[in-house]
A and B are shown apart, each in its own frame.
Chain A
């Protein structure tokens, strides 16, 4: 009787000026497990918590390489992410073929932005139910972009999307000034600490449920032309992430007091579970 009449399609505004289908899609992103991305002057990292449907099953992948220089982290409907990922791979390959260079990351992100936005204004279409963090390097250096199902894209210094990602964002906001100068490993550790913040009480980072992706850009000196040497985007899993997880666990034991303080602050902001 009091059913919402304004959420049947993505082209109808509610009397309050909202488009419910787009909001529902944004909600789908919050159902996905958390992913964190951080960019420094030389590197950009993506870290993610993988979920397994049941104890005996494998873990769903969260990080995907797109091209030599770009990778994505997904939160939401994996099948929608597959469509976007295939699209991005094709665009990058096409750009490499016609211009002989890596596609600028912003150009790529603008493309999926336009693609997703079109789905929000045609009858019979639906928005993608997935949010992305796009990490990549180009001639300008490392970049991190957020992508939302509404078609919104924005460049970020650091960001987190997915379930309970507010806790991770709080950590990132607290430490934002440190990121720019971070080295590769330190940036990854910041990412893992941010992930840790958003974990539920009895869960912890393990080699099974943690993925790390890194891309880097080291600029040659001006005399050598100032061109960028690209460290290709690479995903690390299992034993390859063990050392990073361990080092984060160690410094947590080191200052347990500070950790508790963070938890207390986090509980108050636990808006999505």
Chain B
């Protein structure tokens, strides 16, 4: 028995040889992300009458290799907002942990302030306590975070969509990227989706007024259709995807959706790629 606590849980020196402590050395040059490594592709989202629909496939690519096929790229925040990550997956995991911390702090600040109101509450939904960070607040925070990191020349290599409700309980959808650039629109898409899915979504929600007429079912159908087109044409995509619907009743997140009714008939007519001779 080795009584030195430093050795507990370590491979035994007499069996494996002395441990090379230089691996534990933490000093070294400061490094920053120069390029994304393991990446997620498009995130798409569209507003409708009472909320926002967002989707992203479950693939994390390592270059052109489909490396991980069960990565959840849509993350709920305080069960009131949804954050969709495109780009580097390790930076996404960093942000996810960071946002979890933020959500816990926020929940602590607000649960003791919450007094149950006697009048209403026949509709006991997952209504969050008032005053917690909403999607608009969260997007503002993320934009400051992303801009700070790019100013440190150590950007978080993501493009992020934030969906939820704003302070007036209207549907909110906005984007922030690795440079801290922000914009918002009735429909948004990152990566390849910006070229392939955005034109389709704009056919249904070109303006805020159009989006306010869409029903939830219509919005979900549009998003599913876009995911299908993305799977057809984006070589870094997958037919398993996550779909989130966020309304005032909270976030409904399904993380194992399967593309339905695919038709590859069009592929026969494609000429010009690969090794065919005709």
Residues of A near any B CB (own CB < 8 A)? 97-101, 104, 106-107, 138-140, 222, 224-227
Contact = CB atoms under 8 A, between A and B. Distances in A.
Give me the 5 closest cross-chain CB pairs, A-B, nearest first.
A225-B169, A139-B131, A100-B140, A139-B130, A99-B137
A100 B169 contact: no
B220 to A, nearest CB: 23
Nearest to A155: B113
Contact of A100 (B109, B110, B136, B170): B136
Given A100-B137, A106-B113, A227 B169 contact: yes
A104 B169 contact: no
Nearest to B127: A226
Contacts of A139: 130-131
B133 interface: yes
A225 B168 contact: yes
A97 B144 contact: yes
B141 interface: yes
B133 A99 contact: yes
B120 interface: yes
A142 to B, nearest CB: 13
Nearest to B123: A222
B130 A101 contact: no
Main secondary structure of the interface of B (DSSP, over half): loop
Contact of B140 (A98, A107, A225): A98
Nearest to A96: B140
A106 B109 contact: yes
B69 to A, nearest CB: 36
A99 B139 CA distance: 8
B144 A104 contact: no
B215 interface: no
A138 B131 contact: yes
A100 B166 CA distance: 11
Contact of A226 (B110, B140, B169, B170): B169
B181 interface: no
Contact of B168 (A104, A106, A140, A227): A227
Interface string B100-140: 00000000011001100000100000000011010011001
